Chains A and B, each alone.
Chain A
Amino acid sequence: MPIQLKDISYIYDRGTPGEKRALDHVDLTFPDGEFIGIIGHTGSGKSTMIQMLNGLIRPTEGTVILNGTDIFKEPEDEQVREYLKTRFGEDSREFLKKKLTGKDRKAAKAFFMLQVRRKVGLVFQYPEHQLFEMTIEKDIAFGPGNLGLEEDEIRRRVLRSLEMVGLDESYLQKSPFELSGGQKRRVAIAGVLAMEPEFLILDEPTAGLDPRGRDEILGKMKQLQKETGITVILVSHSMEDVANYADRIVAMDNGHVRYVGTPAQVFSHGEELKAMGLNIPQVTELQLQLEKLGYVFPETILDIPHMEAYLMGEVKRTC
């Protein structure tokens, strides 16, 4: 099931002179199983938006819908009773008869929000700063451990998550602090994957990594999306990264969604993107310049191999 943002607005410091509309009537759907890239200048509203997707920020206006349910809606009596039933089992009978209290509603709401956070995993910038356990195994097991799962299940999830980020069992007993920056980051991502989310949101996962570390992380995330059907949402300042990995790109500007489409569609708006403080991949820039001189390309070129292929013959050269 997709996540939908319906007519979302978010206003910071409302009623003060510093009032700022971080998101302005945003309508957007994140379909299942895609790799989605989000680009936008600093302050464009990207961070606010991704934090709404897992309920960390509540919109000032509008609704966030996950699997058909408004995640911020007060639970219905029926849902609260349903929660009490699962929470207290046999003992719940007396709860179910009595009038629901504010406490019951609050507990139910917190429980439902927890479900949302399990389904929508959010990896913040520099997640490796949040590693704290003595071993990598313990660090990855921390989240699933809190879910009250069986030992075997936790172990299975730890191994699976570690494999998903491209590390093998030999890392389990190591300290996370012995690893390189890129490896630490992968362990931190594995910790979120161990919660088995349906959506994985990554905020600048490659900042500060060298080219190889960058390709490793993004390559693994792409593989994960293809093989497991998880939806990956990548927030990035690298136009090359989103061009190379995303199926769909969302370009944001001053709290508005300006463009949504395939990388080729979005990056065909070169001038507009630059005016928004963004850019286009260098090969796309080359295409623009060559077209001004009479070259004809059949489509928007986003990566070096395609540009190579076109320049080696398929392209009509007239300059």
Chain B
Amino acid sequence: MAAMNRNSIPDTINEQDMILARNLTYIYKDEADEEMKPEETAGKKKEGFFEKSEDNAGETAGGQSAETFKGQFQETSGKTNGETTALRGVNLSISKGEFVAVLGTNGSGKSTFARHINALHVPTEGVMLVEGMDTKEEANVWLIRQKAGMIFQNPDNQMVASIVEEDVAFGPENLGMEPEKIRMNVKEALEAVEMSAFRNATPSKLSGGQKQRIAIAGILAMRPECIILDEPTAMLDPRGRTEVVKTLQKLNQEEHMTVVYITHYMEEAVLADRVVVMDRGQVVMEGTPREIFFQVELMKQVGLDVPAMTELAWRLNRQGMNLDPAILTVEEMVNALCPSN
């Protein structure tokens, strides 16, 4: 066993770490807590891969191959005495300015993890640090929420005012910012999401993608370092999805905003610097989109998908073609099929 006490704040904190989770464990305890629980963590009986494997339930941490984490979560995830273990020793660090996509099935713990980043949940065991601040310390919570803003699935639930500008100003007002500063922040936030033209509009008249961009502007106006999005495109039409994703890419590239992006759309995860795959409350895979998605069979075993083009490349290679197995986009597939182009 390592000398370091795994439940305490690590001695050395990397300056570049925006978010640092060490042995992060979270258990939903009673009914009151149940209310707080994101929809997806209620899942326990999953058909398929993990349940079918009858062999030993090992206790080792998640590995990179199917064999290593096969069967290890039997019995451990799910309810006992009204308790649900949603996170089971997550170790993860996210650097400043990184764009990280978090993938996982419903019930894998991604939303619970996200809620730890801005202290909506505090760890049952282990540590969560945001810019070096422990989320367990009451005194830090205010500042952490200012640094790490969160966006949810349903844009309608996130609108608080009847005029766009007022909606965006809501956060900074609550932080007690100077009116002059609020005006400036709101203006810049709306420019950043390209919604300045709608500053006097009524949020209810906007499209889903526009509403989500207003919600993002509301976070930006608080001048955060990090933005966490829990399936922000689940309810949007194709154009709305593109709008939101492009906005995030721009914020990440131009403003060096740290982005933690939870999604079920594999095509969106392709745009991230790094993909983290969660399963049964643990991080089971981590790497660049290419490193993750070319493991087609493994991804399917975790109950996930790969981008359509990656799957096509995998199938064609199985038939004897010799394509790069890490093809992610239509453009890459076209280039692979027509190299002279």
Contact = CB atoms under 8 A, between A and B. Distances in A.
Nearest to B337: A290
A240 to B, nearest CB: 7
Contacts of A261: none
A177 B334 contact: no
Interface in A187-211: 204, 207-211
A284 to B, nearest CB: 10
Interface of A: 18, 40-43, 125, 128, 177-184, 204, 207-214, 237, 239-240, 277-279, 281-283, 285-286, 289-290, 293, 304-305, 307-308, 311-312, 319
Nearest to B79: A178
Given A178-B79, A181-B42, A210-B106, A304 B303 contact: no
A42 B264 contact: no
Nearest to B340: A319
Contact of A41 (B231, B239, B331): B239
B339 to A, nearest CB: 9
A312 B316 CA distance: 7
A274 B264 CA distance: 22
B268 interface: no
Contacts of B338: 290, 293, 319
B202 to A, nearest CB: 9
Given A180-B107, A209-B106, A237-B236, A282 B308 contact: yes
Interface in B295-336: 303-305, 307-309, 311-312, 315-316, 319, 321, 330-331, 333-334
Nearest to B110: A210
22 contacts: A18-B205, A177-B34, A177-B42, A178-B44, A178-B79, A179-B43, A180-B40, A180-B107, A181-B39, A208-B264, A210-B105, A210-B304, A237-B235, A278-B239, A279-B238, A281-B308, A286-B330, A304-B312, A304-B315, A308-B319, A312-B316, A319-B341
B153 interface: yes
Given A180-B107, A293-B341, A207 B40 contact: no
Interface residues of B, number: 51
A208 B309 contact: no
B90 to A, nearest CB: 19
Interface of B: 34, 39-40, 42-46, 48, 79, 104-107, 153, 205, 207-209, 231, 234-241, 264, 266-267, 303-305, 307-309, 311-312, 315-316, 319, 321, 330-331, 333-334, 337-338, 340-341
A128 B266 CA distance: 25
Contacts of B237: 40-42, 237, 277-278
Given A208-B153, A211-B304, A237-B237, A308 B315 contact: yes
Residue of B46, B106, B315, B319 most packed against chain A (CB within 10 A): B106
Contacts, number: 132
B308 A240 contact: yes
Contacts of B341: 293, 319
Given A237-B237, A312-B319, A304 B308 contact: yes
Contacts of B333: 286
Nearest to A303: B308
Contacts of A289: 330-331, 334
A134 to B, nearest CB: 14
Contacts of A210: 104-106, 264, 303-304
A230 B153 CA distance: 31
Contacts of B48: 212
B45 to A, nearest CB: 8
Contacts of A207: 153, 234-235
B321 to A, nearest CB: 8
Nearest to B31: A177
A211 B264 contact: yes
A281 B238 CA distance: 11
A239 B105 contact: no
B239 A277 contact: yes
Given A210-B304, A319-B338, A181 B106 contact: yes
Given A42-B208, A180-B106, A290-B338, A283 B234 contact: no
Contact of B106 (A18, A41, A213, A307): A213
Contacts of B334: 286, 289-290, 293
Contacts of A237: 235-238, 241
Contacts of A178: 42, 44, 79
A41 B264 CA distance: 20
Residue of B240, B309, B330, B331 most packed against chain A (CB within 10 A): B330
A42 B305 contact: no
Contacts of A277: 237-240
B107 A319 contact: no
